[in-house]
A and B are shown apart, each in its own frame.
Chain A
Amino acid sequence: MKKELIESLFDKDLFIEKDNEIRLRGSECPNCSRRFFPPKARCPECFQSGLSSVALDTMGTLYSYTTVYIPSRNFKPPYTVGYVELDEGVRVFGQVRVREGEPLTIGSSIKVVIDYLWNRSDGEGVSGYLFEPVSG
């Protein structure tokens, strides 16, 4: 299953394996230690090159969210998207998997998961990151 997931990732550069898990790959500046996602070749704060790859946190909080009722390039409505602030402070945009009876709020606890996202025009499934609320 994991191998299939890796093969279907829509952009392999955005991911990294750590502790037998697929995680979001960020980059970290060797000078100011700031972390970025998506990864960058050069630090936009101090213009340093040679940033290192880091596996980003898998936990964060919901910064904002919206349920969308019009189609986008890869998603049929309705779907929910949001900004999640990972515990290390990096803000990432993506799909939010909403569970029935559990309304979202700003500040909800979120786990980043790697899973199926959409089908390409040739029918092949594409995987990537999405956000799952964590109860309690």
Chain B
Amino acid sequence: MREVAIIGVGSTVFGKYKDVSPEELGRRAVEAALEDSGVSYEKIEVASCANVYGGMCIGQSVMKEVGITRVDMFNVENACASGSSAFNIIYRIIASGECNIGLVFGLEKMTTLAPAQLAPPETDLDANMGLLFPAFFALIMRRYLDRYGVTMEQVAKVAVKNRHHGCLNPYAQYKDEIGINDVLTSRMIADPITLLQCCPNTDGAAAAVLCAADLADKYCSKPVQVAASVVSSGDYQWRQRDITFSELTHRTAQRAYEMAKLTPDDIDVCELHDAFAVNELMHYEELGFCPVGEGGRLVESGATSLGGTIPVNVSGGLLSKGHPLAATGVAQLAEIVWQLRGEAGDRQVKGAKVGLAHVLGGAVTGLESGSCTVHILTGSG
């Protein structure tokens, strides 16, 4: 296997695009990434498109608008982890030596194509019994608070922190600060999860151009190396007797650290799956940023805020940047690339050399989760 680099990234501003088609959102992100990479269109050998709600061959619909046809193409669905899974496919194809340059993009038009309340598919037993994603995570949250004495204020701090970060990010959906009390007194969704602890419905697209690392310097003055790219799937719920710790996230992260020959202490900046505020605290623990049960204290200490020792979700995260499902995984990687190139503006983590991106996706009856991805990228600082 050979080394792979990211030589270009692009994203739309995340938000609500009532009158823009999903294909057009995809086109904007793809063209931005291609322009950023300096690669001419005919160099793209392979592409993968991530999307959940857009329907058949949406990737080809985007690519025909861009003007790139007849390349090897895949459409990928892995719930929230679709974008990062699509990235992994291109990574593997280039690492194997089969292709030199490939494109990945994720797009989602949540406002018009997704159901108002996100749930597993209609055939899923638990979904029929009333399992919506906020309910699923509320069940986990109640056990987590009960077990470790994590406070509602510590959970709310995640939403406040990520909103503050989002205010510094021109790509984010929300641009107004909120306080702990706003989070706690916002409308109850699934007790104890209130509205401001939930990520919003968002439209958006993001894209990245990958290249064999030994060719990257030809196109890009600041290539970012893919030190680890790992995709895994969830285990049976009955093997996870304690739902307050995602074995899937932990296992996927361990594989990524091993692949990159790095440890949690080496991570300078992290984008993780804060679909609900409490998830961020649990993921700190699973990713190894603090001991199990210490997530609440870690956010309270300021360590995960911009300027702290391990800044998390400096883009605003899903909570404030927004969560167009299949775009999210690619957008996280774009954010890490900007951070490692020192181009993240007001939200720049100074001197960031190593970044980690984590996504958790999908609920299926009988499984703890659907899919998980962990990526570790390294730059020259």
Contact = CB atoms under 8 A, between A and B. Distances in A.
A125 B377 CA distance: 54
A73 B122 contact: yes
Contacts of B179: none
Contacts of B132: 68, 70, 72
Contacts of B192: 66
Taking residues whose C-beta sits less than 8 angstroms from the other chain, chain B's interface range is 20 to 34
B139 interface: yes
Chain B contact residues, majority secondary structure? mixed
Given A38-B365, A82-B139, A66 B190 contact: yes
Interface string B128-147: 11111011001110110010
Interface in A69-96: 69-75, 79, 81-83, 89-91, 93-95
B284 to A, nearest CB: 21
A70 B134 contact: yes
Given A70-B134, A106-B142, A94 B238 contact: no
A81 B130 contact: yes
Contact of A67 (B128, B140, B146, B190): B190
A75 B131 CA distance: 10
Contact of A75 (B122, B130, B189): B130
A36 interface: yes
Candidate in B135, B138, B188, B243 with the most chain A CB atoms within 10 angstroms: B135
A81 B363 CA distance: 16
Contacts of B142: 64-66, 106
Nearest to A129: B129
A74 B191 contact: no
Contacts of A71: 117
B130 A106 contact: no
Candidate in B119, B128, B187 with the most chain A CB atoms within 10 angstroms: B128
Interface of B: 117, 119, 122, 125-132, 134-135, 138-140, 142-143, 146, 187-193, 236-238, 243, 365-366
Given A72-B130, A74-B130, 4 more contacts: A36-B366, A68-B138, A83-B139, A93-B131
